[in-house]
Structure 1
């Protein structure tokens, strides 16, 4: 890749020493297979611990009352950022304590959402990607 057309600043941040940096986070398994786990710019850093929003979302979506969900990082005075969970709940009803207990079974304590918000829908792009910035904007508006 030579760069982005007429976008030198974006090209400079994406290309380093001739290599294209996608911004994707991945992990490899013992067999050498890679799994994309998220994006660097979506990473939540809570007290020095890295949290991929998708990891929390994958656990939360398995709760019986959760139809859809998304996680965003929200600034915190001492921890840097904390995860907030947005949930589309079945019949707009959610037992938050049950959901958090469900999360505690599969997630480390620092990954448990600091707050849970019930919403009508998770904003998504035409290709289905979560528009996390819209959720952050909604928090600021409240």
Structure 2
């Protein structure tokens, strides 16, 4: 094994410490977004009733680092060029949506779900589309439309 292959890329480029710092900062930002105050929201007091909004928070992320080094294979060069490089990248997404409202009053505590009519409508339209497609398919066999044979 050559000396170039034994070199530690983290020592040469500082990628290890810098990469860990970026990763640590990113994770802290994601965890701050999923804080209990973000999930439940600020309580609202109205007379004797306390209203607490509740939300669902989903987060996903990915992160990667890489580095490399090598030497030039040009044997004619007086001084072979030694190359190195490093890089990293990452991404993520945070989604939150209201799911319920907790209502605490003198009569008791109850949880009122938040109904997302858009999702219900989209699910209904999707189901309707599949049903219409299947009806056309079933009807085409009944009328003797020839099948395409391979």
Give the TM-score of the pair, scaled to structure 2.
Answer: 0.23
Greater relative contact order (Cα < 8 A, sep 6+): 2
* Greater Cα radius of gyration, structure 1 or 2: 2
TM-score by length of 1: 0.24
More helix by share: 2
More strand by share: 2
